[in-house]
Chains A and B, each alone.
Chain A
């Protein structure tokens, strides 16, 4: 595997987010400012434009550029959050061999960036509620001897469960937190886009 897999991931993620933009925005309109789908679509479309005009020799260079693009183009809180994720994801892979273990470290570094930036805790009804079980499932699969594809599938599956579990939660971060109790009963858009990204990774990285 190589940089082309990650290019595929980003392109596939862009398509997926584009196809789900209306859905994400609908989720966000219930408890946020109704821009998550449009913001993510805009950010990943910019990544696709970047991929169309440049070639990348290394995964870390590619992912850092992708992260910077999200930082500047998304606009909402998911810009600095996903932007930081990809920046740290790329940094972690600089000069590293691409193995399930190193990729797992990269995911951890990226999520560490999300934690540093957004300071979420489990149950705050944020994208972290999808990321945390996903990391756990990925680690468990890799230690159990699974390959990258199985590990990513396990992560995506766990993320989806985490996403579904956000429905009854009361938001404690972001714009949704202004709604207080009224945010309960709605699925978190950030956890939803995280799940989409991981499902896309499972389709493309291995």
Chain B
């Protein structure tokens, strides 16, 4: 591999450029890059002696490429060649390539083992991508040889074929004895030489674009196979919509293990502060570590990327950072400066009038503790020890989304409430979970067990008895899984359809025994960019195929409230849950919705598809939605979500022109009880089994005049599912891991034995549970 020398007037410039370029290539693959820049770290200038030493350091039998900035850098580099061994000087090439772009291209190309001449050529083309982008292109595309084999791949990366994945393509291509070209079939650009970083970058292939890959030469077939594989792996980037952390929990409702008590306070004793400079450095390191953790979390749980983006923004927020910095300057240890500033910030959020803003205090505290842990060297609690039961005061979605479900025995939440985001996420991942254990004293490491079905939580339990229960439940679950594909017919002969809620193609692939999908969350499927009609068609098609062509119910964009879409910015609202949510968002700007409906109409001609509109309140909205949908292909059924109490109460006058309604029990519950499920102090009020909610469901079933489904969280709880079926709901859509269990329980149930009148007359949710 050739060596590279960077000559610059500025030490800072050279080391930063090297850092930028080094990012492109894994460390073990990187060429030697030596720097000769500045007379010292602060003084601009070049030193021919230093350049000759750098050349000696980077020298290799394959040669040395020297990249330089201007003026004396050129003169010093030339002079340096007079100082080095003539044999070495003979294999040194001084390049006129632009320093930053040339260096990036050179490092990438060199890492593939390319010859000095090839690297020089690539460095010289360093400006092509930028010139092309800015429309002042002067160079023509590098000539690639003839190709005789062709495949087609799709760019699945979140940000398209940007620099790093492009670098992976180049490295791969150059490892074969083949000429490979890329053509972007969606833009018509190309063919370009796939062995050239600048050329691949010029393609600017975006996510979803189809690439034609051509190859010729002795190893053409091998190169194509390797590229096909790389494309299937999103060119080495973390995939976006398909969560990496797909590992799911046991799916049981009972668990035992050592308690992992997550203290609210990070232990700050034992921190020995240094001088201001040292504390600044420590803080820098801690911020870097915290950012890296958050970026990692964002990458591994894209469904919750918004949470981590918000946390990242807090880590980098200039105003509090300045306060921290000046406190450190004034002699405060970094931990105190950081804690006090972020405590204050959290207090400021808590003092705001806006409830939504008040909740951000939780984010501030989470970021505060993450950085404090980094400062004190405490372990990140993103990964609790294997086999433990996590005991937390409240369960935030970030924790629920990111803990390793296959290594966590269960989660016990002190706060009550079963509809919070964290609870929903944990349940959808099959992690055993109990809520509302209260202030029980739990020593860290003590064996604890819980059974969510009976609502028991025990410290130092009778382990044998718990293990017996677990064995029984496992057998029950295995039986349920074995029977998953069988229909759920109750003992009294009622067929209940049990479907699955999906937010990704992977969800549909993972689903076992689902009779279709009762809820396709489109806003989760496409999170980062506004998809084209074709992209949507493709994704819907993939979901239907994963469910063997069983019916899927696509919900149109459900955004607003706590679910912002980055590509459809919304005005700030004081009360977003009562603001522009769901269908309301599109009354003023229907374009995105129209695209989606076009995609849905298209897929409906190929496979059974239903469509439903979220957050409908009035009959006017239904009429508008039907009008936007327009003439529909045969078999495309139309429905609405019933989440707003007003819609539930006037169900008989709102369903004109509809084929079905689907009750979203989570929102219906929080709107009915006027209790925010994410606010721990009132979350217990937002109980889906509250008789008030059940009465609304009963009212809808009796008066809708159309098919009634439930796709809220209530349908995922086997006991509640039996009650819903008894109330007359014939279609339940549950989270993936619960589908077999819901089906199994329904098969054991005799709906005629459920006294629905007594349930509806109960005084509260607790009494309803007692009756089930």
Give the contacts of A81-99 with B (CB-CB under 8 A).
81, 83-84
Complex: chain B residue closest to A69, CB-CB: B49
Verify B79–A75 contact, CB threshold 8 A. Answer: no
Q: Closest CB-CB distance, B83 to chain A, in whole Å?
A: 9
Q: By the criterion CB–CB under 8 Å, are B44 and A80 in contact?
A: no
Q: Is there an interface contact between A75 and B75, defined as CB atoms closer than 8 Å? A: no
Residues from chain A with Cβ under 8 Å of B49 in the complex: 68, 71-72
Q: Give chain B residues whose Cβ lies under 8 Å from the Cβ of A35.
A: 44
A73 B39 Cβ-Cβ under 8 A: yes
- CB <8 Å contact, A80 and B48: yes
Secondary structure type dominating chain A contacts: helix
Is residue B132 contacting chain A, with contact meaning CB distance below 8 A?
no
Q: Is A123 an interface residue (CB 8 A)?
A: no
Query: Does residue B461 face the partner (Cβ distance < 8 Å to A)?
Result: no
Once bound together, how far apart are the Cα atoms of A190 and B43, in whole Å?
20
Q: Is the CB of A80 within 8 A of B43?
A: no
Contact A75 B48 (CB under 8 A): no
A75 and B78 within 8 A (CB): no
Counting contact residues on chain A (CB < 8 A from B), the size range is: 20 to 34
Q: B45 contacts the other chain (Cβ, under 8 Å)? A: yes
Chain B interface bracket (under 10, 10 to 19, 20 to 34, 35 or more): 10 to 19
Contact of A77 among B43, B47, B72 (CB under 8 A): B72
Instruction: List which A37-80 residues lie within 8 A (CB) of chain B.
Output: 39, 68, 71-80
A77, B71: Cα distance in complex, Å: 6
Contacting pair B71 A75 (CB below 8 A): no
**Distance to closest chain A CB from B599 (angstroms):** 54
Contact B43 A117 (CB under 8 A): no
Known: A72-B50, A175-B71. A80 touches B45 (CB 8 A): no
Please determine whether A75 and B44 come into contact, CB atoms closer than 8 angstroms: yes
Judge whether B76 is part of the interface by a CB distance below 8 angstroms. Answer: yes
- Taking a contact as CB atoms under 8 Å apart, the answer to whether A76 and B79 are in contact is no
Instruction: Give the tally of cross-chain contacts (CB within 8 A).
Output: 56
Chain A, Cβ-Cβ closest to B38: A75
Which A residues lie within 8 Å of B76 (CB)?
71, 79-80
Contact A118 B39 (CB under 8 A): no
Q: By the criterion CB–CB under 8 Å, are A79 and B48 in contact?
A: yes
Known: A35-B44, A83-B48. A71 touches B79 (CB 8 A): yes
Question: Which residues of B sit under 8 angstroms from A74, Cβ to Cβ?
Answer: 45
CA gap between A72 and B40 in the complex, in Å: 11
Within 8 A of B (CB), among A114-156: 117-118
Which residues on the A side are within 8 Å of B45 (C-beta)? 39, 74-76, 79
Residues 9 to 46 of chain B near chain A (Cβ within 8 Å): 9, 39, 43-46
Asked if A174 is at the interface (CB within 8 A of a chain B CB), the reply is yes
Chain A residue contacts of B47, Cβ below 8 A: 71-73, 75, 79
* Known A-B contacts A84-B79, A117-B75, A117-B79; A75 and B50 likewise in contact (beta carbons under 8 Å): no
> What residues of chain B lie closer than 8 Å to A68, measured between beta carbons?
49
Beyond A75-B47, A79-B46, A118-B75, 16 additional contacts (C-beta under 8 Å) are A35-B44, A71-B49, A71-B76, A72-B48, A75-B43, A76-B45, A76-B72, A77-B71, A78-B72, A79-B47, A79-B48, A80-B46, A80-B48, A83-B48, A117-B75, A117-B79
- Of the A-B pairs whose beta carbons lie under 8 Å apart in the complex, a sample of 15, sorted by A's number, is A39-B45, A68-B49, A72-B50, A75-B47, A76-B71, A76-B72, A77-B71, A77-B75, A79-B47, A79-B48, A79-B72, A80-B72, A80-B76, A83-B48, A117-B78
B contact set with A: CB distance below 8 Å: 9, 39, 43-50, 70-72, 75-76, 78-79
10 closest residue pairs by CB, A with B:
A75-B45, A80-B75, A77-B72, A80-B79, A71-B48, A72-B47, A75-B39, A72-B49, A80-B76, A77-B71
